[in-house]
Amino acid sequence: MEITEIFGYVGALLIGLVLGLIGGGGSILTVPILVYALSLNPVIATAYSLFIVGTTSLVGAVRNMKKGMVDFKTAIIFAIPAFIAVYLTRAFLIPAIPEELFLVGDFVVTKNLAIMLFFAVIMLLASLSMIRNKNKETHENEVITYNYPLIIIEGLVVGTITGIVGAGGGFLIIPALVLLAKLPMKKAVATSLFIIAIKSLIGFLGDVQTHHIDWSFLLSFTALSVLGIFIGIWLNQFIDGKKLKKAFGWFVLLMGIYIIYKELIV
């Protein structure tokens, strides 16, 4: 096994670890690990990422359900447009994109390059969200209200972005649940994991139709990620999640800049 492969499988553990520690963000690492450490094609990497992120998030979501932290009504309102968008994106939009998009002088902008650059932009936005970490808190006893049109639009947008980059989109979902559905922050994080699990796994079904799936690799990688989330949940008792989230935000920012450098300059 090459050193990059070892880093790749350690990265699988790290994905779950981050999800367990801060309730989100780990999925943003999945595609870079699969592409750069394990040399997967970006389209396949985004497909595998949906399964890994979906399964790992589901483990966290089940734990939250047992604690009564998931707001199912909000989750369903948000998840239905999100999973329709992510499924259609994976089954039809991604396969329809041509391998070569356009020329910039002698430089060919390919489908894989465009996906990685779009992913890098999403990483930069996610990092800023984690570094600032200024989501408005809602009190536990505040009445939950729904801005249905905005929640549906947000669900469609998040579903499409998830379909393109293979990341969960928690940094978009959590503020939406706090601001649009007036959920308390803890419930928003718990409900977000449930939404991510549903839409990621349904989105992956769109890839099963169009790609050959290496199930032995995918299941072993996912198992390490699930192990990571249990370790993260345990460590969460001893570590300040807010400080960790900010530090992880800076790490994601550097990763986003690295992807842009790697794709455009190297």
Which residues have C-beta within 8 Å of that of residue 254, sequence separation ≥ 6? none
- Number of domain units in the chain: 1
Cβ atoms of 197 and 61 within 8 Å: the answer is yes
Query: Once rounded to an integer, what is the mean pLDDT over residues 115-128?
Result: 89
Identify the pLDDT of residue 1: 66
Mean predicted confidence (pLDDT) in 71-99:
90
Show the domain range for 214.
3-264
* The predicted structure's pLDDT at residue 48: 94
The model's pLDDT over 207-240, given as tens digits with 9 standing for 90+, comes to 888 888 999 999 999 999 999 988 887 887 787 7
Average pLDDT, the chain: 85
pLDDT value of position 222: 95
pLDDT of amino acid 221? 95
* Mean predicted confidence (pLDDT) in 186-210: 87
Band of residue 139 on the pLDDT scale cut at 50, 70, 90: low
Q: Which residue has the higher pLDDT, 218 or 106?
A: 218
- What is the per-residue pLDDT for 105? 81
Residues 205, 207: Cα–Cα separation, whole Å? 5
Query: Average of pLDDT values for 88-101?
Result: 91
DSSP 42-107: HHHHHHHHHHHHHHHHHHHHHHHHHTT---HHHHHHHHHHHHHHHHHIIIIIHHHS-SEEEEETTE
Name the band, by pLDDT with cuts 50, 70 and 90, for residue 131: confident
